[in-house]
Chain A
Amino acid sequence: MRPRGYFARTALVLGLVFLYVPILSMIVFSFNNSRLVTVWDAAHSPTMKWYRALLSNEQILNAAFLSIRIALVAASVAVVLGTLAGMALARFGPFRGRLLLAGMTTAPIVMPEVITGLSLLLLFVALGQLIGWPRGTGAVTITLAHITFCMAYVTVVVQSRLAGFDESLEEAAMDLGARPLTVFRRITLPLILPAIASGWLLAFTLSWDDLVITQFVAGPGSSTLPMVIFSKVRFGVTPDINALATIMVLIVATGIALSTLWMRYREQRRERDLQLAAAANL
């Protein structure tokens, strides 16, 4: 047992180093004074000048604002559609179209993005010719495309959460005469609420981050943040992008830390409630 245990643990440590060194190097060089990015200018660093440059770059700020708006709408619609699909797949048993729905909710997760992007753009062009809508591409078509691939992820998250609970609670409520909508509101929804929350966050992140599909369905004048970043870094390293990356890592790390703490708090409270309930029954 011993030797392999050491081997696996060494791989884990090296793997984590591999995962974090590039991120740390971006953070370090975001404070570097030199334009050469990877040559540390010890005399004039650390400096905040790239952060100031970033915050006065209107192109980046506008793109970030557009990306946030798209991600908010896309994640919210994707959560509704994905929750419906996840419930149907986890609870309805066999129904007509089940296999099709299951297939269409897992395929977008692995589908190469160039193919999804091309097919969605060709759909929008064909629709525009047939019914005159959408007229050209832009924020609306980007949002529709994002909803489609985000809902696949939400479906999987909600479906696997529902698969972890049996149906006895819902059946008991039905037997007691509760209407389907009441059962959903009082029992199913509270059970899957954590999955819905993490599904929304996942969808938001995926939408905020997407480049390839967006490039296909974006029109002139609708550049999202990843599109602006890509056009800047395609021809080399630019220091203000390091500053942007640092800000994003900071936000994500804070968010994850807070949500972990909150989950732990909820878990502890639940255990206390269970103990109290057990004590009351004695």
Chain B
Amino acid sequence: MPLLTQASGRRLVAGIPLLWLLLLFLIPFLIVFRISFSEVRLAIPPYTPLISWHHGVPALEVHTSAYAFLFTDPLYISSYLYSLKVAAVSTLCCLALGYPMAYAIARSGAATRPLLLMLIVLPFWTSFLLRVYSWIGLLKNNGVINNVLLYLGVIHQPLALLQTDLAVYIGIVYSYLPFMILPLYTNLEKHDATLLEAAADLGARPLRAFLAITLPQSLPGILAGSLLVFIPAVGEYVIPTLLGRTDQIMIGRVLSDEFFENRDWPVASAVAILVLLLLVIPIILFQRLERRELETQR
């Protein structure tokens, strides 16, 4: 008699990670959802319970004040929209830089390709925090970029580069570029070169052949890369905190400040739920792309 029958063995293999993720990934979201419908109070924990007792009678306590607060204070709506703008602009910049880079790698010789890919991935293995930090030294008023431009005589006054939108865009493109390039490369590398040759034989100019053949075929790669950048960028915390403006904060910072500075757990939870509502469609889209990629690989 085998120690494990096949069926029970399989149940164990799939069941252990499933259980772990249910407990530490799914249930936490339900708790966030539940706390977003409570009110802040001075106690431990600092929010009203779900069920309160009045003279021995249980009553369900559901408050929508956290959400009402978010929709009445313009600070929240403006940081929400600002985060969307920053994420969208950064994703487009990432695509504009990443696409030609992925294309060049996919078209390079078989011997140089692994080296180029390694050069793209290597910064990712070094600390994300330190790479963002390195831009402070480059961008600040007496930083490297301003010093070089002053020395060359291009400018006579240092440019205000740090604590601007531009600095946040640079930071996001810089940190997320490998996430854009890798899915694009995986897609572009599989393209059939004979189609382009056929188009050229039929007299199509390179640009036309690119627009008619390569670009449409690479759409899944474009979409996967863009989602991998856009979704986390919406909630980005470190980059805008270190490089960004002080008069306009992003939604990830709002959530963190509500939680740590104001100790308002219901409002922080409501912010999280509203960001999730916005991201649930992009996340599902990403999962479907990912699944198709993994299942068509053989």
Give the CA-CA distance A102 to B9 in the complex, in Å. Answer: 19
Given contacts A4-B206, A26-B137, A118-B272, contact A253 B122 (CB under 8 A): yes
The SS class assigned to the A binding surface is: helix
Given contacts A19-B177, A118-B268, contact A102 B16 (CB under 8 A): no
- Point out the residues of chain A lying under 8 angstroms from B241, CB to CB: 234
- Point out the residues of chain B lying under 8 angstroms from A97, CB to CB: 14, 18
Give the CA-CA distance A36 to B140 in the complex, in Å. Answer: 12
Cross-chain contact B269 with A122 (CB below 8 angstroms): yes
Cross-chain contact A23 with B123 (CB below 8 angstroms): yes
User: Total A-B pairs in contact (CB under 8 Å)?
Assistant: 278
- Point out the residues of chain B lying under 8 angstroms from A119, CB to CB: 28-29, 31-32, 272
- Point out the residues of chain A lying under 8 angstroms from B97, CB to CB: 11, 14-15, 18
Tell yes or no: A84 within 8 A of B by CB. yes
Cross-chain contact A110 with B283 (CB below 8 angstroms): yes
Cross-chain contact A230 with B238 (CB below 8 angstroms): yes
Cross-chain contact B104 with A166 (CB below 8 angstroms): no
Cross-chain contact A115 with B272 (CB below 8 angstroms): yes
Tell yes or no: A155 within 8 A of B by CB. yes
Tell yes or no: A131 within 8 A of B by CB. no
Tell me the minimal C-beta distance from A219 to chain B in angstroms. 13
**B21 touches which of A2, A148, A212 (Cβ 8 Å):** A148
Which of A53-61, A243-251, A268-276 is the contact stretch? A243-251
Cross-chain contact A122 with B31 (CB below 8 angstroms): yes
Tell yes or no: B174 within 8 A of A by CB. yes
Tell yes or no: B64 within 8 A of A by CB. no
Cross-chain contact A88 with B107 (CB below 8 angstroms): no
Cross-chain contact B129 with A163 (CB below 8 angstroms): no
Given contacts A8-B103, A110-B228, A241-B133, contact A104 B25 (CB under 8 A): yes
The residue in B45, B101, B236, B295 that gathers the most chain A C-beta atoms within 10 A of its C-beta is B101
Tell yes or no: B194 within 8 A of A by CB. no
Cross-chain contact A211 with B24 (CB below 8 angstroms): no
Tell yes or no: B276 within 8 A of A by CB. yes
Tell yes or no: A237 within 8 A of B by CB. yes
Tell yes or no: A190 within 8 A of B by CB. no
- Point out the residues of chain A lying under 8 angstroms from B252, CB to CB: 112-114, 212
- Point out the residues of chain B lying under 8 angstroms from A29, CB to CB: 137
Tell yes or no: B84 within 8 A of A by CB. no
- Point out the residues of chain A lying under 8 angstroms from B27, CB to CB: 123
Tell yes or no: A172 within 8 A of B by CB. no
Report A11-26 CB contacts with B as 1/0, cut-off 8 Å.
1101110111111011
Cross-chain contact A107 with B118 (CB below 8 angstroms): no
Tell yes or no: A180 within 8 A of B by CB. yes
Could you give 24 example pairs across A and B, Cβ below 8 Å? A1-B206, A4-B206, A7-B100, A38-B143, A104-B21, A110-B231, A110-B232, A110-B282, A112-B232, A112-B252, A113-B232, A114-B235, A144-B24, A147-B20, A148-B21, A151-B17, A209-B128, A211-B238, A234-B241, A237-B136, A242-B137, A245-B134, A256-B122, A260-B118
Q: Told that A81-B17, A119-B29, A256-B125 touch, could you supply 16 new A-B pairs with CB distance under 8 A? A: A4-B210, A10-B100, A11-B104, A22-B134, A39-B147, A108-B25, A112-B232, A112-B236, A115-B32, A120-B28, A163-B295, A181-B4, A229-B127, A233-B133, A237-B136, A249-B126
Shortest beta-carbon contacts, A-B, top 4: A112-B235, A119-B28, A11-B100, A85-B17
